[in-house]
């Protein structure tokens, strides 16, 4: 297995901190992409056979339950639906075609995803970027379903995962080709040098809210699409504004993403996945 990426480490480092992102073609083999997709098929099939479906459905109408399900997902493999998957009579499509994402602890709770996430080359990549002791804080399988895969508004990942030092880094892997039509990522190159706009906070009573830190608008005109092939990894600085548009095509755009921090930068209370458990 190739642990070092082809480019000089210094090039990677400079490029990442200049642009706020890296594109690494062929970071993951086509076979490994297929393997993750097949494993997700199995997990979803198992989910379909449980009665969790109704409890998930109820989360759409009960905010308290919605928060509870979301908070519990920090340490579990939980299933979230696309909002456009529902009509007045319930689900419009089979469950397999209705999910938005499965998250947030695939890396810890599933052997196949665990193997993928803890392969040494990901740790080495993080170390090349100056993260000497990387920790995976969350993982998500994103479906971006054909036709109903919803838009993700421009945001910074540091809004959702805070540290006391270097920002969170996202490693996003295209499991299928990502195109303009099926909702590829968009980024604002260099936008990571601007301030953090919002902070998502978990309060002592386990409620969640956004605190506004800076009202500078995103330079949406500066956004560029990242059309990438299956197996490409896109590495995102936590402050880099990024988004994706609705999938208007008949082709899904599956992706798997991990968010990592450096252990030495801490993971303070108030993070949504940590809360105020001082022993966490």
Residues that bind Fe ion (CB under 5 A): 157
Considering the complex, state which of residue 98 and residue 138 has its C-beta at the smaller distance from Fe ion: 138
- Angstrom CA distances, 15 to 85, 107, 158, stand at 39, 28, 20
Shortest Å distance, C-beta 52 to Fe ion: 26
Shortest Å distance, C-beta 225 to Fe ion: 15
Considering the complex, state which of residue 105 and residue 185 has its C-beta at the smaller distance from Fe ion: 185
Shortest Å distance, C-beta 155 to Fe ion: 6
Considering the complex, state which of residue 47 and residue 174 has its C-beta at the smaller distance from Fe ion: 174
Shortest Å distance, C-beta 191 to Fe ion: 13
Considering the complex, state which of residue 128 and residue 157 has its C-beta at the smaller distance from Fe ion: 157
Considering the complex, state which of residue 159 and residue 252 has its C-beta at the smaller distance from Fe ion: 159
Does residue 186 contact residue 225 with C-beta atoms inside 8 Å? Answer: yes
Shortest Å distance, C-beta 103 to Fe ion: 12
Measured from each CB, the residue nearest to Fe ion is: 157
Q: Give the whole-angstrom CA distance, residue 14 versus residue 4.
A: 16
Shortest Å distance, C-beta 89 to Fe ion: 33
Considering the complex, state which of residue 27 and residue 160 has its C-beta at the smaller distance from Fe ion: 160
């Amino acid at each position: 297995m190739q642990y070092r990426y082809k480019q000089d480490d210094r090039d990677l480092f400079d490029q990442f901190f200049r642009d706020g992102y890296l594109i690494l073609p062929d970071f993951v083999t086509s076979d490994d992409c297929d393997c993750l997709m097949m494993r997700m098929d199995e997990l979803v099939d198992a989910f379909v056979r449980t009665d969790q479906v109704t409890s998930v459905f109820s989360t759409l109408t009960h905010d308290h339950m919605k928060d509870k399900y979301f908070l519990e997902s920090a340490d579990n493999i939980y299933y979230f639906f696309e909002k456009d998957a529902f009509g007045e009579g319930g689900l419009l499509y089979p469950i397999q075609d209705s999910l938005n994402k499965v998250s947030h602890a695939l890396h810890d709770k599933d052997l196949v995803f665990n193997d993928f996430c803890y392969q040494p080359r990901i740790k080495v990549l993080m170390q090349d970027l100056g993260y000497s002791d990387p920790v995976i804080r969350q993982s998500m399988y994103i479906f971006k379903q054909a036709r109903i895969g919803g838009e993700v508004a421009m945001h910074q990942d540091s809004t959702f995962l805070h540290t006391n030092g270097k920002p969170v880094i996202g490693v996003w892997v295209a499991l299928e080709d990502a195109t303009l039509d099926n909702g590829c990522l968009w980024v604002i190159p260099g936008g990571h040098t601007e301030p953090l706009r919002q902070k998502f906070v978990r309060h002592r009573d386990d409620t969640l809210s956004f605190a506004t830190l800076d009202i500078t608008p995103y330079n949406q005109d500066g956004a560029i699409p990242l059309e990438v092939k299956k197996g490409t990894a896109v590495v995102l600085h936590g402050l880099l504004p990024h988004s994706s548009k609705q999938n208007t095509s008949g082709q899904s755009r599956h992706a798997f993403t991990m968010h990592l921090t450096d252990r030495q930068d801490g993971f303070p209370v108030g993070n949504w996945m940590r809360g105020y458990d001082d022993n966490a």
